[in-house]
Chains A and B, each alone.
Chain A
Amino acid sequence: MPERDAPDDDATVTAASGGRRDRGALEAAVLALFADTAEALTVSEVQARLGGTSAYTTVMTTLARLHRKGALNRQRRGKAFAYTVAAPPQAVEDAIVARRMRELLEGRTDRGEVLTRFVAELDPTDEQLLTRILHQLDHRNQPPDQP
């Protein structure tokens, strides 16, 4: 049934997999599994290769999430989806690091301030101002014969 692969929401995922830490570990395990194989795998195949330690729904939501993040591609195979790896492992790892960092950043300025960002948000006025300043700076820094 296609709706078995219905879009998940984070609440279900957290409930099903017992927390963010487990979720990250499961994602890593799934990606490691896909890194070693070229074939397309369905949810039950992935579940079996993981040793059956994770619930079907947990594996399903993990795969759906990795698909949504762009780490996995999927095609319909019969009633279910079959997943393949979408990018080289390093790129996938990068995407995961990026996502973790963003989780730390997003809406969590209140929670410890462990990240300092190079540039903050710009409002439209600031954007106009900076565009003008940058234009002047680039103009001044270039040799006079260039436009």
Chain B
Amino acid sequence: MTIVVTGVVVAVAASLVLPITARHAGRRLPPAALVPLLTATALTAAACLGFMLCALALAVAARENPLAATGHWSPTILRHLLPVPTALGLTAGIIVGVLAGSAAWRVLTTSRALLHAEHLARNLPPQGSTVIDDEIPDAYTLAGIQGRIVITTAMLRALRPEEQRVLYAHEHSHLRHRHHLYLQLTRIAATANPLLRPLVAIVRHGIERWADEDAVRAVGNRRTVAAAIARAGLARARAQRTNAATPRLALGGADHGTADRVAALLATPSQPHPRIAFAMMGLLLVALLTSLATTALTVHTTFERAEQHTLISTH
């Protein structure tokens, strides 16, 4: 009982601490390290919480008859070794059911969106990037097996030649590193464990920063990259004012992503304590994995003992 409850506490605490740690690490770790680390930790934290809730629910369900009989578990032993109150087990069961259900739904919608994107990509010319004649400055990467980059003529007109190189380098980075997967996986983890929701915005910002840093490597100048992003953002904002039909992102307004990216590029790249950031993230990951492993082991041995006892007592 205590070990499972401790497991739940560890999972919840880690999920609460993770976004704070992520914000701290975001200023110190290169995005190419931060994003995969965050995604992995988020998935672990989601799996951990799900497992603990399942264990609580199972401890209660396994001592009730249909299940107890099928598994040949002794309800008395189980009640003794894992004294989970029925109400707690039931609550855990309901919560994990809802969370797993919504996570499954998220996996489904994500896969459908990927298929849809793949279908769209196949309708575009086969080269990596497509320039479309459009008066709204816009540029995006479409995820998929092949992936496509779409840039409007208005966006190209808004940028200087070296800034166009920034744009291509940035979008190619998204394609090459399959950035959408990190975002989608984090989103799935955050659906399975809603405490992780703040991580989605951090990962979204992280993949943009990652692509920006790749663009810096491509053009060799941080200021050019910053200028490209600022000019593109301003051109889009201007088009938005003059053209009411400009599409708006639902998440727009609330996030200061574009300005933050420019600021990050212009800041002197001093990363004072990347080791501390690494250590903090690592510690969280280890805590989660340890708690997962010990709980799994305990639950396993408990059920084995309950089963052995039943076998002995029936002879």
Interface residues of A (CB under 8 A from B): 90-91, 94-95, 97-98, 100-102, 104-123, 126-127, 129-131, 133-134, 137-138, 140-141
CB distance from B163 to the nearest CB of A (A): 11
Minimum CB distance partner of B255 in chain A:
A120
> Residues of B contacting A122 with CB < 8 Å?
233-234, 236-237, 258-259
Q: Which of B2-10, B70-78, B133-141, B306-314 contacts A (4 or more CB under 8 A)?
A: B133-141
- Whether the pair B133, A94 counts as a contact (CB closer than 8 A) is yes
User: Contacting A117 at CB < 8 Å: which of B187, B240, B249?
Assistant: B249
The residue in A95, A106, A120, A138 that gathers the most chain B C-beta atoms within 10 A of its C-beta is: A120
Asked if residues A133 and B230 are in contact (CB atoms below 8 Å), the reply is yes
Where chain B touches its partner, the secondary structure class is helix
Q: B180 near A117 (CB under 8 angstroms)?
A: no
Residue of chain A at shortest CB distance from B113: A112
Taken together as a complex, chains A and B put the C-alpha atoms of A56 and B253 apart, in Å, by 42
A118 close to B109 (CB less than 8 A): no
Q: Please give the distance in Å from A2's CB to the nearest CB on chain B.
A: 25
What is the distance, in angstroms, from A122's C-beta to the closest C-beta of chain B? 5
Task: Give the contact stretch, choosing among B14-22, B39-47, B82-90, B142-150.
Answer: B142-150
At the interface, yes or no: B117 with Cβ under 8 Å from chain A?
yes
Q: CB distance B134 to A116 under 8 Å?
A: no
A84, B109: Cα distance in complex, Å: 39
Partner of A134, one of B170, B227, B257: B227
Mask, B167-196, CB within 8 Å of A = 1, is: 100110010000110011001000000000
Could you say which residues of chain B place their CB within 8 Å of the CB of A110? 250
Interface positions of B (Cβ within 8 A of A): 109-114, 116-117, 120, 123-124, 130, 132-134, 136, 138-144, 150, 152, 155, 167, 170-171, 174, 179-180, 183-184, 187, 207-208, 211, 223-224, 226-227, 229-234, 236-237, 240, 247-253, 255-259, 262, 266
Residues in chain A near residue B247, CB distance under 8 A: 102, 105-106
Measured in the bound complex, the distance between the Cα atoms of B49 and A98 in whole Å is 42
- Shortest Cβ distance from residue A29 to the other chain B in the assembled complex, whole angstroms: 15
Residue of chain B at shortest CB distance from A105: B247
Residue among B130, B141, B150, B230 with most chain A CB within 10 A: B230
Query: Are A113 and B184 closer than 8 Å at their CB atoms?
Result: yes
CB distance from B237 to the nearest CB of A (A): 5
Q: Which residues of the other chain, B, contact A100 by a CB distance below 8 angstroms?
A: 120
Known: A112-B113, A119-B258, A130-B234. 16 other contacts (CB 8 A): A91-B133, A94-B132, A98-B134, A114-B117, A117-B138, A118-B155, A118-B167, A120-B251, A120-B258, A121-B249, A126-B233, A130-B230, A134-B227, A134-B230, A134-B234, A137-B230
- Name the contact of A130 in the complex, choosing from B152, B183, B233 (C-beta under 8 A): B233
Q: Looking at the assembled complex, report how far the CB atom of A104 sits from the nearest CB atom of chain B, in whole angstroms.
A: 7
CB–CB B116/A104 < 8 A? yes
Report how far A113 CA is from B106 CA in the complex, Å: 11
